[in-house]
Every structure is written in structure tokens, then in C-alpha cells.
A and B are shown apart, each in its own frame.
Chain A
Amino acid sequence: MRLKMKLGTMAVAALMTAGAPAMAELVFPSLSYRTGPYAAGGIPFADGYADYFTLLNERDGGIGGEMTRVPECETAYNTEKGVECYESTKGEGALVYQPLSTGITYQLIPKVTADDIPMLTSGLGRTSAKNGATFSHVFNFPANYWDGASVAIKHILEEEGGDISDKKIALVYHNSAYGKEPIRTLQELSKKHGFELVEVPVDHPGQEQKSQWLQIRRDKPDYVIMYGWGVMNQVAVQEAANIRFPMDKFIGIWWSGSENDVLPAGDKADGYKALTFHNVGSDYPLYDDLQKYVYDAGKAAGNGDQTGTVLYNRGVYAAMLVAEAAKTAQEIHGTSAITASQMRDGMENLNITEAKMAELGLPNFGPEFQVSCENHGGNGFVAVTQWDAEAQEWKLVSDFMQSDQDVIQPLIDEDSSAYASENNIENTCS
């Protein structure tokens, strides 16, 4: 009898909680991948993304008085599952999408535009989406792949004292759309700075890279830049250590710069560098709040063991950006229950300043930038981090540097105008 009553109250409680979300709320779907070949990268990002919104709900009661909700949908990095996830979540009033996958991004670009929902692809996706005049609903602030390539070269320039005309730089890349992104930029930069570029593709999944690294051993490039993802990273770092390539001359893009990528190689990965568009570590006031309101309350997403890792931080950062954009949208439109279309306006008028980030508990966490209708990609500020194997942590070893806009902007204009003419898109900013 008692049990029955207990069950009864539980059922009522369940009904009530199930009824509660019917109130206006802000929906931020998370197309995560906690399984499949790239799970190791997808888990921390999804955890960080969810935890930040949990914090907003617990601490501030949501954004502007509206509770937030993060429905998660598992894509396993698979484009078809991504379609299913997009279609099933968009009806719930999704405000913005952040697919952590190049394949899903490309296939969502026309769809989100038609459905009037913005999409944020920080540091991934289609680079020329920076041109907001063509890609009205796609944002890729604060930095993109071509910024990454340019800043990598800039860092090398700094290391070499400004002259790299006699240097040889190898690009080891995942042989896919993502990996091929930096090639054009690097070719242009090699014309400008006179270095020799060697392209070394690695086929998916990249479990076996012996011949690539033997090639590097033979060609003896002065630097190696890597655009890898998944198991390719771990194997590459390992193989580089095996051929005794100097680790501090081996620079990965931000998707090749997480703890996952260097830990399997152990001490030998010490000194490996990676780019990043946000700061590392967990030494921020925000983390105290996360501890207090989320972890201690037992509300952490996933296993709760990813705190402070690079990709977790990226998830937090991505969530912070869209939360700020939502606030901006609320201010512009004077309503707390914003729609996806209003959210787009918010993203287009987003202004991230140091004061704002400090106020959020993330001082010096990322670059300052101002989004505009023409510029959906920020200013391309990227920093370099280095792995310290002994302390088992990444350290920022440079300032945030701006990429070579003289080289990148023409490339962006060229690629976006090709897309615009192919799809009959008119300039949406003028």
C-alpha cells in the first residue's frame, strides 16, 4: 500500500515535471557524438556545452529569466544521423545548432538558411561562411581553419626570426574535406613567405601512418603542421615521437590539440604544440560556480570527469558564445522568449569584449570580437598552446595573434562568391 502511494506520488511528480517544459524556454540542441570513431573528441565538448547551460539554469534561472534546455541527440559523427537529429530537434523550437562535424555542417548550411535557424561552427565547417553576405545564417567566429593555418605560419615566422624562405613545412592532413581546408591558404602563404610546402595526406581512419612519417623523416621538413581528428592524432604524435621529430616544431590545429591526442604517447609527446582559439585550464572564476552549482549538485553531464580539458573548455566556450548571443537577441527585440530568427539577429550583433568575459567569470579566455552582417567570423585571433607531459597540462605559450587577413580575405571572397553564384544567392547585407 505504501509502495503504491509512493509510486503514485512519483507518477504525479513525473507528470508535473514532464508538464513543466511546456512553458516558454530556450532550446539549444546539442548534436553530440558520444559513440563512434570520434567519440573521444565528442564527449568532452558535449559535456562542457551541457554543463554551462545547467549552470545558467541553476545559478541565474536561465537566460533573461527563460530557462534553457539542451536536448541531446547522438549523431556518432554520421551525416545521416545528423539529418535525423536536425529534423527531430528543429520542431522543438531550436534556437541555434552547433554540429561538431564538417560533414553535417555542409549539409545543414542550406537547410538552416531555409528554416531560418542560425548555426555556429566555431573553428570548423565551411571557412568562407565568414562572409555573412552570402551565408546569412552560418557563423564561424572567433576563428576558422584558414586563420589557424595562417597563425601557425606566423608562429613559425616568430620562432625563426621573421625569415622562413629557406624552410620546408609539411602539412599532415586527414584526407577529407576538413583536412584539405588549409591547403589553399598554405599555398598562398608559401608564395608570400617563400617556404616550401609538402603535403602529406593520411586516409581515414589513420591507424597506420608509417609511410607518411618515413616520408617526413626523409624529407626532413623544418616544421610539421597537422590537421587531424580522431585516432589519426594519437598515431601521428606517436609516430613523430618515434622518428624523433622535434616536438616543439610539430604544430597541430585545435582539433589535434586535446589531452586525448597526447596522453597515449606519454612523456615523448612533451613539447608538442597546438593552436587554440580559447584559453586552457580550469583556473577561472566560472569553474568555481560550475563546481558549486553543477558538479557538487550532481548535475554534471556525462561522467563529470572531463572538467578543464581542452575540448570541455571548447564546449563551455561555445555555450557561452550562444548564451551571450541569446542575451543580445533579447535586448534587441525586447522579449525574453526569442525565436530562432531573432536569435540570428543576436548572433549577428554579438560583441564579445574583455569586460564581458571577465564579468562572466572567464577573464582572458578568448579574443575580443564584434560580429557584423558582413563578418560572421570574428577577427581570426589564434594562440599557440604547448603540452607539458610532466604536469599533464596544456599551457598557452603565445598571445592571441591575428591571422594574415591580406591572404585569407581574398580566398574567402573567392570561395563564397563561387557558392553564391552556384546557388543564386544575392548579397543579404546591402
Chain B
Amino acid sequence: MPEQLAFTIEVFLNGLMAGVLYALVALGFVLIYKASGIFNYAQGVMALFAALTLVGIIDGQVPFYHLINAIFGTDIHYFGWKVNSLVAIVVTMLVMIALAWMVQRFVFRHLVGQEPIILFMATIGLAYFLEGVGDLMWGSEIKTLDVGLPQGINATIDEATFNLTGYGFFIDNLDIIASIVAAVLVIVLVLFAQYTKQGRAMRAVADDHQAALSVGVSLNFIWILVWSLAGFVALVAGIMWGTKSGVQFSLSLIALKALPVLMLGGFTSIPGAIVGGLIIGVGEKLFEFLIGAPFLGGATENWFAYMLALVFLVFRPQGLFGEKIIERV
């Protein structure tokens, strides 16, 4: 196989994998937008918050220790125990559910029926708030997240492709796991939405709040459910990205990677998020590799993702999988 072709295929495959990771973040946005029409700016911060909480619980950190030490002059940092990763994930999930309840109880319950831009703005406030609370609770140092996920080149694929084509492909183990997790997540979410009572209620709310209310669906419960699910997706995304880079503030910026994905896939479609993620992932990696780095000086990924989405949008203004916009006067 000619080398350039082999490299291109390798980049293509890795683009797919990166796309899955973007899609993971985008999923959280889609869930909330679909069910409540809220564009949740805080999704990235939620991922950070979930990952921080997870690490804090695993390491047995005392929440708010910094604040406590500053106020009471004490010198406490750790409880002195380590928590099993799985237990910690469950506890973190409980925290995210509690967060969902609080968001619903204290914020969005008071804003039912407001315009989308106002709901969007409330999530801005939420993002600020969560970022501050996360830092206060767990401190802003970088933390190492290790829940036992393997990382590094997958030797089997490397060898197999080397024997087959004479060039060993690089696929990251973590990416493979992320893809599997994302696939499972999407299937579970779709099944949940299609076949369970709560899932149907969720879709009913997404279609029409008032109609859903009038047939006895509890809006309150559904929205807590949706925010909990988004919290769960945020936790998964936080684990994947946090394993790569350590848990720190920058984790909240992954939300920016999800925006072109959303734009491309449509705000309301779960499969759209996945397909959009894959297109963006492959598109930006291939462009950087074939055109950006050799001819334009590199670092083109950020804007190319948006340009790509822009071109798609000019032809399909509602995104690839978005609902057709029907406008009447």
C-alpha cells in the first residue's frame, strides 16, 4: 500500500475516533435541548464538575477543604481513604442527580415558558456558578484521573494491519473504549426513549409541553430525569477526556468542540450528534493532515470544523438531522 494512502486511512480512522469523543459531549446538549428547548451552555462545565467530583471521591478529598481551612484555620485535606472507582462513579452519579434536582427546583421551575434566549442565559449563570463551586469544593490544581481505562496504541490492530498492509495503524485503546461506550450509550438512550414509560413521556414533553402536561405527564419529573441523563453523559465525557489530560479547568472547554457537531447534526437528533461528530472529527483531521499542515501552517482544526458545518448549513439550515423548520406568518 502506498505510504501516503496508509497515512490518510490512519488519519481517517483516528478522525472517526475523535469524532466519537466530540459526539459524547454533544449528546448532553441534544438531550436537554430536545426535552426542554434549553441550549445548555453549562454542559462543558458539568463534565468538569463531574470529573472533579469523581476524582475527589476516589482520592477521599474533603469537599470545600480549602474554604474550611481558610475560615477555621484548620489544616485538613484528605479523609485518608481511597474509594473504589466503581463505587465512586455511582456516588458521583448520585451527586449529578442531586444537581439535576437542584437545577430544576431552583432555576428552571421559575422560568417555565420563557423564551429560549432567557433559558440559555440561565444556563450561563449556571455555568459560572458550577465552575466556582467545583473549584471551591475540590481546588483548582490539576488532578490525575485513573479509573483503570487502558491507554496507548492498540498492539493487536498495529500488528494485524502491519501484517496485512505493511504499515501498522495507530489506534488508541482509550478511543476504542470511548467508541464502545458511546455506541452503548446511544443504543441505551434510544431504547429508553422508545420503549420505556419515562422515555415516552420524555418524547411527549419534547413534542409539546402543554399537551404532555394535560395528559398527566409530570414536567418536573421529566426535566429532572433529562438533566440527570445529561449529567450522566457529562460524567462519561469527563472520564474519557479527563483520563487523557488530567482533570482541570480546561476540561470545560471541550464544549466548544461539541458546537460544530451540534450545528451539523441538528440540535434535536441523537443519531445526528453521532454522525455530526464523525463528520467533524474526520473532516478536521483530514483537512489538517492533507491541506492545513502542509500548506496553511497548521492549527486549522478549530476553524475548519466550523467552516465545514457552515457549508453544510447553507444547504440544510436545520442541520443534517434537525427537524424541518416550517414557518408560517
Is the A/B pair a real complex? yes
Please report A residues at the B interface, Cβ cutoff 8 Å. Answer: 34-37, 39-40, 43, 175, 199-203, 205, 207-208, 210-212, 214-215, 217-218, 230-231, 234-235, 238, 241-244, 260, 263-264, 266, 268, 298, 303-305
Chain B residue contacts of A303, Cβ below 8 A: 66, 69, 77, 139
Whole-angstrom distance between the Cβ of A339 and the nearest chain B Cβ: 34
- A207 touching B241 in the complex, CB below 8 Å, given contacts A39-B248, A200-B293: yes
Total interface residues on B, CB under 8 Å, equals: 46
Contact A266 B146 (CB under 8 A): yes
Contact B250 A238 (CB under 8 A): no
Contact B75 A238 (CB under 8 A): no
Contact A218 B257 (CB under 8 A): no
CA A234 – CA B241 in complex, angstroms? 12
User: Smallest CB-CB separation from B73: which chain A residue?
Assistant: A298
Pick the 8 closest A-B CB pairs, nearest first: A264-B246, A40-B142, A231-B250, A201-B299, A39-B140, A203-B299, A211-B288, A201-B298
Chain A residue contacts of B241, Cβ below 8 A: 207
CA A205 – CA B253 in complex, angstroms? 8
CA A200 – CA B301 in complex, angstroms? 13
B141 within 8 A of A: yes
CA A205 – CA B252 in complex, angstroms? 11
Contact of B151 among A212, A217, A242 (CB under 8 A): A242
Contact B253 A37 (CB under 8 A): yes
CA A203 – CA B253 in complex, angstroms? 13
Chain A residue contacts of B7, Cβ below 8 A: 214, 218
Chain A residue contacts of B246, Cβ below 8 A: 40, 231, 234, 260, 263-264
User: Smallest CB-CB separation from B252: which chain A residue?
Assistant: A37
Whole-angstrom distance between the Cβ of B135 and the nearest chain A Cβ: 6
CA A244 – CA B153 in complex, angstroms? 8
- Contacts A212-B298, A304-B75 given; 10 further ones with Cβ under 8 A? A34-B140, A39-B248, A40-B141, A175-B299, A203-B302, A208-B257, A210-B15, A211-B293, A231-B251, A238-B151
Chain B residue contacts of A175, Cβ below 8 A: 298-299
CA A36 – CA B131 in complex, angstroms? 10
Chain B residue contacts of A305, Cβ below 8 A: 77
Whole-angstrom distance between the Cβ of B304 and the nearest chain A Cβ: 11
User: Smallest CB-CB separation from B243: which chain A residue?
Assistant: A264
Chain A residue contacts of B140, Cβ below 8 A: 34-36, 39-40, 43
B152 within 8 A of A: yes
B172 within 8 A of A: yes
User: Smallest CB-CB separation from B287: which chain A residue?
Assistant: A211
Contact of B299 among A40, A202, A241, A304 (CB under 8 A): A202
Chain B residue contacts of A231, Cβ below 8 A: 245-246, 248, 250-251
Contact A208 B153 (CB under 8 A): no
Contact A37 B249 (CB under 8 A): yes
Chain A residue contacts of B10, Cβ below 8 A: 214
User: Smallest CB-CB separation from A44: which chain B residue?
Assistant: B141
Chain B residue contacts of A211, Cβ below 8 A: 11, 14-15, 284-285, 288-289, 293, 301
- A39 touching B244 in the complex, CB below 8 Å, given contacts A175-B299, A217-B170: no
Chain B residue contacts of A210, Cβ below 8 A: 14-15, 17-18, 285
- A268 touching B249 in the complex, CB below 8 Å, given contacts A210-B18, A211-B301: no
CA A305 – CA B302 in complex, angstroms? 37
Contact B248 A40 (CB under 8 A): yes
Chain A residue contacts of B21, Cβ below 8 A: 208
B297 within 8 A of A: yes
Chain B residue contacts of A264, Cβ below 8 A: 142, 144-145, 244-246
Contact A234 B142 (CB under 8 A): yes
B261 within 8 A of A: no
Contact A207 B14 (CB under 8 A): no
Contact B254 A203 (CB under 8 A): no
Contact A207 B298 (CB under 8 A): no
Q: List 12 A-B contacts (CB under 8 A).
A: A40-B141, A40-B142, A175-B298, A211-B284, A211-B289, A214-B14, A218-B7, A231-B248, A231-B250, A234-B244, A241-B152, A268-B151
Contact B254 A207 (CB under 8 A): yes
CA A217 – CA B167 in complex, angstroms? 12
User: Smallest CB-CB separation from A300: which chain B residue?
Assistant: B75
- A214 touching B244 in the complex, CB below 8 Å, given contacts A201-B298, A243-B153: no
Which residue, A217, A264, A266, has most C-beta atoms of chain B within 10 A? Answer: A264
Chain B residue contacts of A40, Cβ below 8 A: 140-142, 246, 248
Contact A238 B244 (CB under 8 A): yes
Contact B142 A242 (CB under 8 A): no
Contact A207 B248 (CB under 8 A): no
Chain A residue contacts of B245, Cβ below 8 A: 207, 231, 234-235, 238, 264
